[in-house]
Amino acid sequence: MTDRQRFIETLLFGKPDKIPFNPGEPRKSTLKTWHKQGLPEGADWNEYLREKIGIEPLLPGKQSADVWIEHIMIPQFEEKVIEKKERSQIVQDWKGNICEISNEYDVTYLRNPIDFVTRRWISCPVSNRNDWESMKTRYNPDEPSRIPENITEIAKKLKNRNYVIGFEFPGPFWQMREWLGAENICMLFIEDPEFVRDMVSFWTDYISALLEKVLPYLDADFIHISEDIAFKQKSFISPKMMREFLQPTYRQWNEIVKAGNCPVYMMDSDGFIGDIIPVWIESGFNACDPVEVAAGNDINKFRNIYGKKMAFLGGVDKQAMAKGGSIIRDEMNRIEPVVRSGGYIPSCDHGIPSDVGWNEFLEYCDILARMTGWK
């Protein structure tokens, strides 16, 4: 089977020859630690890892998308340092947020998940209706650079590919939080629900327009929606509020995803998701990640409750990874029943932190490779 076939077969509860091997992604500080512990400088960590544990190398050729949907704001805000302090700096990121970060980082760390960066939020770009009207002008779905101009030609070339292609978008809650900040948007659901509905409606139609420019031509393998709508014990808003304000968006996008014959419609949220998985299933999602263990998510319990209605990605406790030995062996034994029942690609339940040592990572990956059929 190809990587693409394995991905789809696994998440649709089919019969893959192997489950995709996806241990997780290290951050910059993690790689720096690994280089001190045995990972050669300049080596591709994934290729070297496969060699060390004795499994097949990555397939040659293209392993990333040849096509894109550019959903982020155009134009972006200027990335700049506003004030430099002894140990920290006040900066503006590309989204217009003003925040304080340590001097060990620069503004580019706020653009991509290079590392785990703690920040103190000072202000967000939308604080009133006027700000909102201005913000909307940055999201024109007809901006030519948002999709390749030769999308039909590219789609033909990708028809028989052996690798996975999909698209990732912020969900309406994530995007409103980016515009207004977490506390402000949560309060707005109570204090000005019509403002919330206006923003949700705008984002729903904007992403719908982008999907409809690509999915009729390209047989994408997944659409991934990022929401991060939960804390350690509860979600930011109740399941009832999710059904009222957000579910219509999820369902509208799901209709477009289904019409485009895209098999995997995936939701991403950190935190405890046990109370909101039913909302996702009702909305058409058939997979979710990263099933964060420290937040109290029990993947075995979820499988018993939801059966084949929901597939999972992630679910391996990064804290157990860091400890290694019998702790990580027990952790992998814990998730094995779900691996065996299908519909699950085991992986780290978030980015791999720097307290996961190289030798402990190799140990975890060796167990993972055996469990998923690569050894």
* Domain positions in the chain: 3-73+128-371, 78-124
Structural tokens at position 284: 């058409």
* Residue in the structure block whose two tokens are 């420290």: 294
Q: What are the start-end ranges of the H helices in 223-348?
A: 239-241, 247-259, 277-283, 299-306, 318-323, 325-341
Could you tell me the pLDDT band of residue 115, with boundaries at 50, 70 and 90? Answer: confident
CB 138 within 8 A of CB 131: no
The length of the chain is 375
Provide CATH code, domain 3-73+128-371: 3.20.20.210
Q: Which of 73-77, 94-98, 133-137, 231-235 has the lowest mean pLDDT?
A: 231-235
- Residue 262 confidence (pLDDT): 98
Q: What is the pLDDT of residue 66?
A: 79
Tell me the chain's radius of gyration from C-alpha atoms.
21
Read off the pTM.
0.94
Share of the chain above pLDDT 70, in %: 98
Q: pLDDT tens, 43-92?
A: 999 999 999 999 999 876 554 557 899 999 999 999 999 999 999 999 99
Q: Cα–Cα distance between 107 and 112 in angstroms, integer?
A: 10
- Condensed to tens digits (0 to 9), the pLDDT of residues 234-292 reads 999 999 999 999 999 999 999 999 999 999 999 999 999 999 999 999 999 999 999 99
